[in-house]
Chain A
Amino acid sequence: MSDFEAGDSLPELRVTPDAGLTKRYAEASGDPNPIHFDEDFAKSVGLPGCILHGLWSMAQVARAHTDVAGGDPRSLKRLAVQFRGMGFPEQEVVVTSTVKEAGDGRVVTETVAAQGDNQIIRNAEAELELS
């Protein structure tokens, strides 16, 4: 499991948030901002519609990494992301990670999360400990 080398890819994670996801995530996370689940409100502030929570998308990047370590939450030591394009419900999110450094049971990756050509997270860097 820890025999990754620089340039390797992590298994891709694909997930399509359903129409009700942003409401469920808002309740579970405690983020009250209605731009994520109130279509009329989102449009009233100039958005095309409800947008995904950046931190939900970041959680998909986290999951793509812990999955590599058999789902162990202790394996993820650090994750830094930059939020860019807006993400939308009912469109598939693809998380693609490339190994930048590997050695001594530690792997550092660079990750992009995208919906089609729209990169919603880029320059993500994760540090994973594989035992």
Chain B
Amino acid sequence: MSVRQRPPTRLPRRMALKTDAVGKEWAGDPFEVEAERIAKYADAVGEGNPVYHDAEAAKEAGFRDLVAPPMFAVVYQFPAMALAGVDPEVEMNIAQLVHGGQEFAWGEPVCAGDEISTTVTCKSIEERDGKGFYAFEAVSTNQDGAETVRGTWTNIVRGV
């Protein structure tokens, strides 16, 4: 008499998403803000306001020098974010990565001549609906230590 083997009561547990990088920090090299870069960025996003193109107009409006549009934060935070993105400990599958969400909270305006330092922290790595959600906080300060922006970048990796 043959005994039928009992089927397994549960499926083998799937490899969990690697979360070792939660809490890890990366510091980018200081970013030198150049007037040309501000103007080029402003042109690309359709910001024609003279404060982004003419240092005198910016000073008249009360800025220290040519000022950057708020979303210029992506320009000076991107290099520090890239350090996290390629870190093997984070192990994001870049080929399956989409930018899921973005938040910025702004402080001191950024002007030409500023030197911005950005520190990125991995805040969470979670699996939901078969996707990996990676949240990074990026905090930037200028040469005087004033916070210019606090960003939360959420990347989604499909099919983890």
Contacts and interface: CB of A to CB of B under 8 A. Distances in A.
A56 B71 CA distance: 9
Interface stretch (A3-11, A71-79, A102-110): A71-79
Contact of B43 (A24, A30, A58, A72): A24
Contact of A25 (B45, B98, B105): B45
A62 to B, nearest CB: 5
Contact of A55 (B46, B61, B102, B103): B102
Interface residues of A, number: 31
Interface in A83-121: 83
- B interface residue count range (under 10 / 10 to 19 / 20 to 34 / 35 or more): 20 to 34
Contacts of B98: 83
Given A60-B46, A63-B47, A74-B109, A55 B40 contact: no
Contacts of B69: 59, 62-63, 66, 73
A80 B154 CA distance: 11
Contacts of A31: 74, 78
B3 interface: no
Interface in B93-139: 95, 98-106, 109
A77 B105 CA distance: 6
17 contacts: A21-B44, A24-B44, A28-B40, A28-B41, A28-B44, A29-B41, A29-B44, A55-B71, A55-B102, A62-B69, A66-B70, A73-B67, A78-B105, A79-B70, A79-B103, A79-B104, A80-B101
Nearest 3 CB-CB pairings of A with B: A80-B103, A28-B44, A59-B45
Interface of B: 37, 40-41, 43-47, 49, 51, 61, 67-71, 74-75, 78-79, 95, 98-106, 109, 152
Interface of A: 15, 21, 24-25, 27-31, 45, 54-56, 58-60, 62-63, 66, 71-74, 76-83
